[in-house]
Amino acid sequence: MHDNNRLKDDSRLKNIKLTDEMITRYSRQIILDEVSGIGQKKILASSVFIAGTGGLGVPVAMYLVAAGVGKVAISDFDNVDLSNLQRQVLYSTEDIGKPKVEVAYEKLKKLNPDVEIVKINEKLSASNIMNLIKDYDIVVDGSDNFPARYAVSDACVILGKPYIYGSVLRFEGQVSTFVPTEGACYRCLYPEPPPPGVMPSCQEAGVLGVVPGIIGLLQANEVLKMILGIGEPLMNKLLVFDALSSNFEIFKIRKRKDCPACGTNPTIKTPQDIEYWCSVRFGSA
């Protein structure tokens, strides 16, 4: 069992009061021995940054907001497109052309007014990521390009924040939880992005609509386990899902001593700019 100390003795818990309405709203969680009223207060006191509000970020945001995570940041720079609707189920046909974060904000607030939702309508980059995520307990990766993903991962290592990785393509998906102080990081798994053109994007190769939903929910599950300090998060493990066989496989990830981000002598001191601007395999779809 993972013991997450980030919220265990947090002074924020003292300020959380469960109203009668909250007890009813979260009753199916509170009744669980592993959650209880204390666990629900931990959820309400926590904060999560979601990088990308697309195929992965949408289910993550919906379920974390529904669960009562106290503060959720949703970040995206795109507008809703007709091609999104096959898998990004928070959006509707009437939302086409509108900024994703604006639409998501309004719908998520209706889902759960208890939650503070922060909308960030800008591109994530090496220059702004540290400032954007510094005040959040956990960061979830729903990005669709390597520059954003590596910048977010590097920033999480530098700041010591848990980074919940997810990616999809065609009928496949991957999930892992990277906690810099407790094991491997994303660069231990993928030290550098592949050369441009080697991997197809989801736009080029496609993705089955349910796959981002499945992977996004697994990411949300990892977040809740981290907040509550229960179960076994996917630290130092990579879960790979194949929708065609309904098969889940888990592979071990080893922390690399020579990792430029988290190794014995790290060379990455600030988030790295990566000159690689095309969507590639295992994007957020």
pLDDT tens digits for range 16-54 = 999 999 999 999 999 999 999 999 999 999 999 999 999
Q: What is the mean pLDDT of the chain?
A: 90
Here the tokens at position 32 are 């669980």
Q: What's the number of domains the chain is made of?
A: 1
Q: pLDDT exceeding 70 applies to what percent of the chain?
A: 89
Give the E-state strand segments of the chain in sequence order: 47-51, 71-75, 116-120, 138-141, 163-169, 172-178, 237-242, 247-252
- Of 70, 71, 5, give the one whose Cα is nearest residue 44: 70
For Cα atoms 282, 145, 179, give the angle at the middle one, nearest 5 degrees: 75
Asked if residue 35 is part of any domain, the answer here is: yes
Asked if residue 276 is part of any domain, the answer here is: no
pLDDT for position 15: 85
Burial of 223 per CB tally in 10 Å (0-12, 13-18, 19+): buried
pLDDT for position 78: 95
**Tens-digit pLDDT profile for residues 123-146:** 888 899 999 999 999 999 998 888
Reported as a pLDDT band with limits 50, 70 and 90, residue 155 is very high
Q: Are strands 138-141 and 47-51 parallel, antiparallel or unpaired?
A: parallel
- Of 192, 195, 148, 188, give the one whose Cα is nearest residue 54: 148
User: Domain range for residue 165?
Assistant: 11-252
The CATH number assigned to the domain holding 120 equals: 3.40.50.720
Tokens 């295992």 belong to residue? 282
Contact 284, 142 (CB under 8 A): yes
**Tens-digit pLDDT profile for residues 47-79:** 999 999 999 999 999 999 999 999 999 999 999
**Tens-digit pLDDT profile for residues 112-121:** 999 999 999 9
Q: Are strands 237-242 and 138-141 parallel, antiparallel or unpaired?
A: unpaired
pLDDT for position 283: 36
Q: Are strands 138-141 and 163-169 parallel, antiparallel or unpaired?
A: parallel
What are the CA-CA distances from residue 258 to residues 2, 126, 156, 236, 268 (Å)?
26, 22, 18, 16, 12
Asked if residue 80 is part of any domain, the answer here is: yes
Reported as a pLDDT band with limits 50, 70 and 90, residue 201 is low
Burial of 162 per CB tally in 10 Å (0-12, 13-18, 19+): buried
* Cβ neighbours, 10 Å, residue 173: 30
Asked if residue 168 is part of any domain, the answer here is: yes
Return d(Cα 119, Cα 78) in angstroms, integer.
13
| Contacts of residue 117, Cβ cutoff 8 Å, sequence gap at least 6 | 65, 71, 72, 73, 74, 105, 108, 109
Here the tokens at position 95 are 């939302």
Asked if residue 218 is part of any domain, the answer here is: yes
Burial of 67 per CB tally in 10 Å (0-12, 13-18, 19+): buried
Asked if residue 258 is part of any domain, the answer here is: no
Asked if residue 133 is part of any domain, the answer here is: yes
Asked if residue 19 is part of any domain, the answer here is: yes
